[in-house]
Structures are given as structure tokens and as C-alpha cells.
Amino acid sequence: MQRVCFVLQVKPERLEEYKERHRTVWPEMREALSRAGWRNYSLFLRDDGMLVGYLETDDFAGARGRMSREPINAVWQESMKGFFVDAEGRRADEQMRPLEEVFHLA
């Protein structure tokens, strides 16, 4: 099992709308994440827009690949792309770079 943590940057002027969108994540998106192997998935948002994501999966590369083939993911990502800071115009799911785990208290 892999524990995965990543950081993204939400545009500060869109924080409230971002939080509102995540209060009602589409059931189809939640089901797709589960099917793709994303477990215990959480998002944490700081008031300056720093977003920290955490999930557990058997294989992050495989889980991302399966999620990329889910039709609902393309729709969700398109609806969310304006929320994130990225000079290259990439979607949030393309920007996820896992942080190195340096300590874990089991």
C-alpha cells in the first residue's frame, strides 16, 4: 500500500467556490475514484490557496492511469481547471507530483 501526498495551488480568489464544489462531489466521480483504486482520499486547503492531497492506493501510477481512462474524470477536470495556478495550462490531475515521505508513525 502506498500513502501519497501532493500539493497544488488553488487561485486565492476562487477558494470559496472550490470548497463549495467539493461539498458535493458528483457521485459518478466518487465511484470512479474508488474503482480506480483511490482510497482514504482527502484534500486540505490553506487560506492562501495551498492544497494538500492525501490518498492511499496499491499503485499510484496505475491508479492515475485508470482514473485517466474514466470518462467522468475528463468532465470533472475540465470543470475544475480554472481553479488552479499553473503557467503551462495543465489540469490538476496532471500536476500531481507525490511528495517524498520522510516519516510515518505506524
Other Cβ atoms closer than 10 A to 64: 18
Instruction: Tell me, yes or no, if 22 is annotated catalytic.
Output: yes
Q: Report all structural domains of the chain as residue ranges with CATH numbers, in order of start.
A: 2-95 (3.30.70.100)
Catalytic residue among 19, 22, 35, 90: 22
Residues 6 or more apart from 81 whose CB is under 8 A from it?
89, 91, 92
The SS3 of residue 88 is coil
Task: Give the pLDDT confidence of 1-37 residue by residue, as tens digits.
Answer: 999 999 999 999 999 999 999 999 999 999 999 999 9
Over residues 55-92, the pLDDT tens digits come to 999 999 999 999 999 999 999 999 998 899 975 777 88
Q: What is the pTM of this model?
A: 0.90
